[in-house]
Structure 1
Amino acid sequence: MSSSTATVNHGNISSAQARPQALRRTLGLWQGVALYVGSVLGTGVLVLPAIAAETAGPASVLAWLGLVLLSLPLALTYAALSRQRADAAGFSDAIERAFGPRWGAVAGWLFLAQVPTGTAVVALIAGEYGASVLGGGPTMAVVLGTALVVSAYALNFVGLRVSATAQLVTLVVIVAGLALIVGRALPEVEATAFTPFFSRGPAAVGLASVQLFWAFVGWEAITPLAREFKEPRDIWRASLLAVGIVALVYLPLAIVTVGVRAHGGEAGAQTPLVLLAANVFGPSASRVVGIAGLLLSFIPVNAYVAGTSRLAFALGERRQLPAWLGVTSASGTPHRALVALCAVALLGLGVTHFAKLRIADLLPFSTSSFLATYVLSMAAAVRLLRPPLSYAAILSLLACTVVLFFVGTFLAWVGVVSVCALAYQHFAARRRPS
């Protein structure tokens, strides 16, 4: 970033931002890795390998590989923005520095706008898997999903160090379990399952990539935690390690799903992990995968609670949301933001349950919000970063813009949230003393 840009944008930073409250530096390298991986690795691993394989056939592996490769410039760009200035507003702060406080606020609002729907999606998936283990119905699924969400908020309320440690333990258990299942299935992979490779045509790889994008969303969520790393260089290291771990989980599972034909036909009635786990755990495989579904759901919920609460806190500091949110407890926890977001998440769960909304009804709201923040973040990075990192930002910007257009009419949702954010800034500015 040029010195002139820095001087101009410094004038846009509020006095609250210039005197940040003391969020404590409690995150070590591996806790950071756990939060990064947890933001990306989620319940999609249970169903998306089969969906992509049905869409693009064996060539679906190329879609997985392409998105893993895209994850590297995305993760490095977000890490670079965090290192450039560690701020609880994360990507929103970077957008503010590049384009001014109003656009930073728009990005923050867009990301927080998906809290009710995004939380409900993960809670529904978690609840359904948990209920399948216990033999319960829709009511039990809602109860279990709600309990998972409340647990994540409670852990974050106690403190980020405790939350991140729980995240690390859960992540180790999940990755070890997946490695056991995939490792056992690898000898059964048949080369003939990969022919013809483009059985659905080359264009199907692009469609599969759009389907799989949900499995790779999350690199932005930890940027609000940059101020809480003990060693700033650990942001880079955690990002690179997280990309590697995600690749080691997703790619072998995608290959095995195709190689043992754990999709389509009779397999379509079950998730690939149930079929693959049957080789390791026998008839109890469905229960094992049900428990895995609960654990996998906790990981992204916990990571997003940590990130979104810091973002809401930072927007409160800047008066881009009510100032009441921009306050920490004596222990440095953004307790008011956590309480407010928990209430919003529970309200979203209640509406989802009583309105009988499905995951398919909710997912486009979250996906469109995510993609919009990605486009704004990468555009800011192009302006703020120097080569070669700016080249990574350009590549990511082009890819995310293309995918954004696939949300179709939900661009209207992005527009509505953006207008609300701008209107709030306008009226909030008029109320401030000159």
Structure 2
Amino acid sequence: GRLFREFGVVVAGAVLISAFVSLTITPVLNVVLHRESTHTEGSGHGKFYDMTEPFFQGMESWYGRMVGGFLKVRGLAWLVVAACAGLIYFIGKGIPNELAPLEDRSSVRLVLTGPEGMSFESMEKVSAQVAAFVSDSVPENDFVFARTPAGGSANTAQVRVGLVPPDQRKRTQDQIAKYLTRSTKRFNDARIFVVQEQTIAVGSGAKSSVPVQFVLQNTDLEKIKEALPKFLAAARQDPTFQNVDANLKFNKPEVQLTFDRLKIRDLGLTTQDVAAAVQGAFGGRRMAYFLRDGRQYQVIGQVDRGARSAPNDISRLYVTNSRGESIPLSAVVHQTENSNPATLYHFNRFKAATISAQLAEGKTVGDGVRAMQAIADKVLDPDVFQTALTGSSRDFAESAGNTTFAFLLA
């Protein structure tokens, strides 16, 4: 399919060349080599045939004697087959499993993720520091480009390092990536993943993603919230990985407001009055338009910045009831501070969390997938959670599943 497009082109080209040779050169060569000998005592074939035929006759006679001898002990054939199958199994088991060896494409990406709530200015400062460090510490760079944000939130950034061609540098792309992985641990303001573009990847996003991506799925977000820290702790202790993170983070601070409806009614208020007061002070609601110098502007209703910078500022607000009395909102509104994800993710219609991991030195995608599955079997309840792979890990699993069939077919 799409993964082996180059291989398909090579096979198709080989078939076309073979067909051309079979239909043109081979018949002519056969005629030339089998011309009748001019000698009266010849075999009726050419000189080349007379010179080579004794060798083939001897080989045919030797093969006949070997087959005849083997048929006398034909039961040994099953032992030979079993020995070959065992040898194939043990050799195949020891070979590292990889989708495809990483090619030196003269490009390395650094994916940065800061704490939830980190401002754009702070994240841009961190990405600039990382870009400056990479530019100074990697003399093989051709260019260094940083962009903030690199995703849907302001606490993400990406630094791309373009390298000079391989024949103009002493270190390979893989050696530079390993050096950056060790060196960027000094930056404590953001989690940094050093990513090499995958040789074979389906989709543009998969090329720049980390090699191992494991998905936890459940219909209940609270169960994911309970299991995710345990899974991350186990994955970070596994020697197969050196950087582990999840896209679902329960660390976005929120303030939940609960209205005391009975008290609101007793004080001569309505729920709409209380909600309108909160929205007007903090929501930035558009109230009207006005024109000036041929331009249209919006009228946004909200209190000054200094009066809406903390959750307790809501206690300073008052709302007028039906009797003209000013009632403090703190009398009818209760605050509860908690943390929730900034974004809810879904995979196959389930609520999901994707664990991304960077492989340790000497480890392959196959090692990472097996390690993730072993952690899932140990930490997760199989009757409650479903798991899946995505990105390069999914490509590897899909291709590896067909390897045995292709081997048997061959």
TM-score range, shorter chain: under 0.3
The TM-score normalised by the length of structure 2 is 0.23
The TM-score normalised by the length of structure 1 is 0.22
Query: Counting strand residues as a fraction of each chain, which structure ranks higher?
Result: 2
